[in-house]
Amino acid sequence: MERQQWKKIWVGSAGNMVEWFDWFVYASFAVYFADSFFPKGNDTANLMNTMGIFAVGFFMRPVGGWLLGRVGDRKGRKAALTLTVTLMSASAILIAIAPTYAVAGYGGVAVLLIARMLQGLSVGGEYAASATYLTEASAPGQRGFASSFQYVSMTAGQLLGLGLQIVLQRTMSEDALHSWAWRIPFIIGACGAAVVFYLRRNMLETEVYAADDAAQTDPARGTIKALLAHKREALLVIALTMGGTVAYYTYTTYLTKYLSNTVGLPKSTASLVSFCALFVFMCLQPLAGKLSDRIGRRPLLITFAVGSTFLTVPIMTLLRHAGSFWPAFGLALLALVVVTGYTSINACVKAELFPTGVRALGVALPYAIANALFGGTAEYVALWFKNGGIESGYYWYVAGCAAVSLVVYVTMRETRSLDLNRIGKDAAGTSGSSGRDEGRAASGVGA
């Protein structure tokens, strides 16, 4: 890759890392601050309430996807990425200073809710803006490899959060973690976001966006009207995201709680299992992305869906009986290797479906809707099954979502060889019906 391309990937990934650090530390530290915002009582019920607020953040993601996707298509990828990190910084500060139930009653819950709504807005736009930016910033034959760094940076953010959690668990008492030390990661996240804001203010716009004069002068760019011209592709994004997002959040944010609350491992051991498995998972992303540049996107997506459909129930069942670090680590890693078939390339697959003038919105809004319905509710659904005494029902739920996505992966067409500059254009370089036909051929929906 050229030096300039690496610079774009680095800046986009660094910001994405901080964004997702702030997003994930809420989930990983929820076991410590759940009791701070609700009356003392049932620990599982309090955790469910806290994760319910976590899910609210996901339901704000479609709004963020629409708002920031529109900014990305009308003002540029750089403008959208700068705005997302600003919102994330504000939300981290709010969580860090939120008053507890003992101090302000349910006032603390209100602050927490506002902060999660801001985070939802931010991440709703961040995913699409970074996916679009990383895909457009790379050479045509390296889009899978370059866009894989989105999940490298996402996972790096989560690893930093887990690493910080492990350090705090080993240096502070349980009482300190429950009373005040859980605020530390949010303070760090706010400071990191301020640094990234500076980096993104000086980042370079992608050549694909800058060179598309039609996209920049079209008054309909970045609008719902423009997106509806590609509604088949939008529906495809929802369907192909469904299985992937449920599996991803099951084996990342929910895994630590599952190992602690269900398997019975100490919280410190559960965190270490997640940290080690996620580190290997992170290293696999560029390798899988590069493989997709050689053999195509569909083989990896199909491998993920088959593995998740048929292995989720056995893996989760065996995990339940894993009594120590190594069995839990091996099973968690196996699950994440399967999920890699989705995470490593899903960003570029979605970006490859839409023309430049609606690419950010086309990725953002459908993806955010799918995450609100499936990814954001994954932990709440899992805890609901657990609270109802039928926890194994969640395993089948995850497998079922993957099976639905498998049907989509099998029927969709390959997107690896599409020219981002030509999607949505006819031979003369203007928007037209042939562009919509090309987009539909890429999606394979109805073919």
Higher pLDDT pick, 1 / 379: 379
Asked whether 15 and 196 are in contact (CB, 8 A), the reply is: yes
pLDDT band at 226 (very low <50, low <70, confident <90, very high): very high
Q: What is the pLDDT of residue 425?
A: 63
- Kindly report the pTM of this predicted structure: 0.84
Listed range (36-40, 135-139, 294-298) with the worst mean pLDDT? 36-40
**Contact status, residue 161 vs residue 21, Cβ threshold 8 Å:** yes
190 pLDDT more than 80: yes
Residue 445 has pLDDT above 70, yes or no: no
Residues 6+ apart with CB under 8 A from 305: 243, 341, 342, 402, 403, 405, 406, 409
> In degrees rounded to 5, what are phi and psi of residue 431?
-70, 145
CA gap 227, 361 in Å, rounded: 7
Whether pLDDT at 427 is above 60: no
Q: pLDDT per residue over 233-242, tens digit each?
A: 999 999 999 9
pLDDT tens-digit profile of 39-50? 776 666 667 777
Highest mean predicted confidence (pLDDT) among 119-128, 141-150, 208-217: 141-150
On whether the CB atoms of residues 65 and 365 are closer than 8 A, the answer is yes
Q: Do the beta carbons of residue 120 and residue 61 sit within 8 Å? A: yes
pLDDT category of residue 439 using cuts at 50, 70 and 90: very low
Angle at which helix 184-201 crosses helix 77-97, to 10 degrees, equals 160
Sequence-distant (6+) residues with CB within 8 A of 23 are: 57, 88, 119, 123, 157
Rg (CA), the chain: 21
- 250 pLDDT more than 90: yes
State pLDDT tens for residues 147-173: 999 999 999 998 898 889 889 988 999
User: What's the rounded Cα separation, in Å, for the pair 45 and 34?
Assistant: 9
Which own/partner pairs from 53-56 qualify as long-range (CB within 8 Å, at least 24 positions apart)? 53/109, 53/112, 53/113, 53/116, 54/26, 54/27, 54/30, 54/116, 54/376, 54/379, 54/380, 55/376, 55/377, 55/379, 55/380, 56/113, 56/116, 56/117, 56/120
Closest Cα partner for 400 from 288, 313, 340? 313
Residue 92 clears pLDDT 60, i.e. is over it = yes
Is-contact 244 371, C-beta < 8 A? no
401-426 average pLDDT score? 89
Q: If you write DSSP's letter for every residue of 405-435 in order, what string do you get?
A: HHHHHHHSPP-TT--TTTTTB-TTSSB-HHH
**Alpha carbon distance 442, 288 (integer Å):** 21
The fraction of the chain above a pLDDT of 90, given in percent, is 57
Distance (Å, whole) CA 107 – CA 103: 9
Mean pLDDT over residues 13-36, rounded? 82
* 430 pLDDT tier (thresholds 50, 70, 90): very low
Question: If DSSP states are collapsed to H, E and C, what string results for 191-231?
Answer: HHHHHHHHHHHCCCCCHHHHHCHHHHHCCCCCCHHHHHCCH
* Predicted pLDDT of residue 424: 64
Q: Which alpha helices (DSSP H) does 98-142 contain, by range?
A: 101-104, 107-136
Q: What is the mean pLDDT of residues 354-363?
A: 94
- Among the ranges given (137-146, 246-255, 351-360, 437-446), the one the predictor scored with the smallest mean pLDDT: 437-446
pLDDT for 428? 35
What are the DSSP E strand ranges found in 118-203? none
What per-residue confidence (pLDDT) applies to 321?
92
Share of the chain above pLDDT 70, in %: 91
Question: For residue 443, is pLDDT > 60?
Answer: no
